[in-house]
């Protein structure tokens, strides 16, 4: 049977790692839940590559984030509330409905990783757009798989911006090149690191991602133990990019380096937009690279607050085509396609 949308009234404080802060990451409770209806109006939102955005776009994004941070603390659309939704779904805060003895819900390390995060970003983006009255607003993606995108996008590093976060590794500020597989030593020349990153991408997308299970992760059904196994892209570079941004001087490499705190960093959403884009790219690569057909995956359901602070129940089958959700990605070259090791 499919994983069921949680009952928010059963939420309890999360089991966060020692030295962590704000263990209570339960979303506000509301008993009115509507079923998801895909958007049928409005322009297609085009998510831009973060390293290519212009000032006009950036002003809009910063403004939207500022407004999101300024919402009342108990508004589910408030930025901190957005971050805590992620925490609630990864640290044992939400029991599985009807499965009292099963592990609590965990949206990582299994086949629901891609769809849950896609929907999480979908609502986050629509809330931002609503706050600035722009229904074409789209969040940026951190294009860390292309050479020009292999640094932290500079605008996240502006201290006076709502996109800034102090909990990041000070040694990984621009213009330091990211190490996508987390294995290179720090004195490797830049061109070699870039080459190595492209090869890592080829390996995770193509060689190690030949089937849905290998790419997206192991089946996770109602009552199953949490974390049956992550897919290739979730392990590398998804996890490695998290670790690269988090500050190792903090107790648990907060913010990005720990699941419970990672979504407190605005860069989280750009990182995940790229992960989401790569899911769409992966499906075009041929062979057996297709979504699961298993109904336990397609009918798995989740709960999110939408741009009107309305609780919505969504199924995996509703999110398989990003354009049906009203967004796509700026076209960029996937240079790693030619990097067969």
Binding-site residue numbers for Cu cation are 86, 108, 117, 238, 242, 272
197 vs 262, beta carbon nearer ligand C2O: 262
Token couple for 57? 């776009």
> Looking at beta carbons only, is 82 or 130 nearer to ligand C2O?
82
Q: What are the distances in angstroms from CA 327 to CA 79, 184, 193, 277, 317?
A: 21, 35, 32, 11, 16
H/E run at residue 46:
strand 45-47
Does the footprint of ligand C2O cover residue 242 (CB under 6 A)? yes
- 113 touches 216 (CB < 8 A): yes
Between 163 and 339, name the residue whose CB sits nearer to ligand C2O: 163
**Phi, psi dihedral angles at 158 (to 5 degrees):** -90, 110
Q: Which is nearer to ligand C2O, 200 or 339 (CB)?
A: 200
The tokens for 240 are: 């490695």
Residue 130 or 305 having the CB closest to ligand C2O: 305
61 or 269: CB nearest ligand C2O? 269
Query: Residues 24-43: x/- map of binding to ligand C2O (CB under 6 A)?
Result: --------------------
Which of positions 96-155 make contact with ligand C2O (CB under 6 A)?
Answer: 108, 117
Q: Per-residue x/- marks for ligand C2O, 181-220, CB under 6 A?
A: ----------------------------------------
**Which pairing describes strands 45-47 and 33-35: parallel, antiparallel, or unpaired?**
unpaired
Nearer to ligand C2O, 96 or 339 (CB): 96
Is residue 45 part of the contact set for ligand C2O (CB under 6 A)?
A: no
Taking the complex as a whole, the smallest distance from the CB of residue 252 to ligand C2O amounts, in Å, to 14
Residue from 84, 262, 274, 301 touching ligand C2O (CB under 6 A): that is 262
| Count of residues in contact with ligand C2O, rule CB under 6 A | 8
Q: Which is nearer to ligand C2O, 142 or 336 (CB)?
A: 142
Asked whether 220 and 111 are in contact (CB, 8 A), the reply is: yes
CB of 83 to ligand C2O, least distance (A): 11
Tokens matching residue 190? 């830049």
Provide the annotated binding site: 86, 108, 117, 238, 242, 272
Please, which residues have CB within 8 angstroms of residue 35's CB and are 6 or more apart in sequence? Answer: 312, 313
- Taking the C-alpha atoms of residue 325 and residue 249, their distance in angstroms, rounded to an integer, is 39
User: Minimum Å distance from CB 91 to ligand C2O?
Assistant: 11
- The H or E element that residue 312 is part of is strand 311-315
For the bound state, the minimum distance from the C-beta of residue 132 to ligand C2O, rounded and expressed in Å, comes to: 25
Q: Are 244 and 182 in contact (CB under 8 A)?
A: yes
Q: How far is the CB of 241 from ligand C2O (least distance, A)?
A: 8
- Burial zone of 275 (CB within 10 Å; 0-12 exposed, 13-18 middle, 19+ buried): buried
Q: How far is the CB of 133 from ligand C2O (least distance, A)?
A: 29
- How far is the CA of 121 from the CAs of 32, 81, 153, 222, 275, in angstroms? 22, 14, 19, 24, 11
CB 117 to ligand C2O: min, Å: 6
Q: Would strands 45-47 and 327-329 be described as parallel, antiparallel, or unpaired?
A: parallel
In angstroms, rounded to a whole number, what is the distance separating the alpha carbons of residues 106 and 104?
Answer: 6
User: Is residue 272 part of the contact set for ligand C2O (CB under 6 A)?
Assistant: yes
Pairwise CA distance, residues 197 & 306, whole Å = 36
Interface contacts to ligand C2O, rule CB under 6 A: 86, 90, 108, 117, 238, 242, 262, 272
């Amino acid at each position: 049977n499919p994983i069921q949308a949680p009952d928010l009234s059963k939420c309890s404080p999360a089991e966060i790692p020692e030295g962590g802060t704000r263990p209570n990451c339960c979303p506000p409770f509301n008993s009115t839940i509507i079923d998801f209806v895909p958007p049928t109006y409005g322009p297609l939102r085009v998510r831009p590559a973060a390293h290519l955005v212009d000032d006009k776009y950036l002003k809009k994004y910063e403004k939207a984030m500022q407004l999101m941070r300024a919402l009342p603390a108990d508004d589910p659309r408030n930025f901190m509330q957005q971050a805590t939704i992620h925490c609630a779904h990864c640290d044992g805060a939400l029991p599985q409905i009807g499965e009292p003895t099963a592990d609590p819900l965990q949206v990582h390390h299994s086949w629901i990783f891609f769809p849950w995060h896609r929907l999480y970003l979908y609502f986050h983006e629509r809330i931002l757009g609503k706050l600035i009255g722009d229904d074409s607003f789209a969040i940026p993606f951190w294009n860390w798989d292309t050479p020009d995108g292999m640094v932290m996008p500079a605008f996240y590093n502006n201290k006076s911006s709502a996109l800034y976060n102090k909990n990041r590794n000070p040694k990984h500020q621009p213009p330091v090149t990211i190490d996508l597989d987390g294995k290179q030593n720090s004195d490797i020349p830049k061109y070699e690191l870039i080459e190595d990153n492209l090869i890592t991408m080829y390996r995770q997308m193509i060689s190690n991602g030949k089937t849905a299970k290998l790419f997206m992760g192991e089946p996770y059904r109602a009552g199953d133990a949490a974390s049956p196994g992550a897919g290739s892209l979730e392990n590398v570079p998804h996890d490695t990019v998290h670790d690269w941004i988090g500050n190792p001087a903090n107790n648990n490499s907060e913010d990005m380096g720990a699941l419970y705190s990672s979504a407190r960093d605005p860069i989280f959403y750009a990182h995940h937009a790229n992960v989401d884009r790569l899911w769409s790219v992966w499906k075009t690569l041929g062979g057996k690279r297709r979504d699961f057909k298993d109904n336990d995956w397609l009918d798995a359901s989740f709960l999110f607050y939408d741009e009107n602070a309305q609780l919505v129940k969504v199924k995996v089958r509703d999110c398989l085509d990003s354009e049906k959700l009203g967004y796509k990605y700026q076209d960029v070259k996937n240079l790693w396609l030619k990097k067969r090791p």
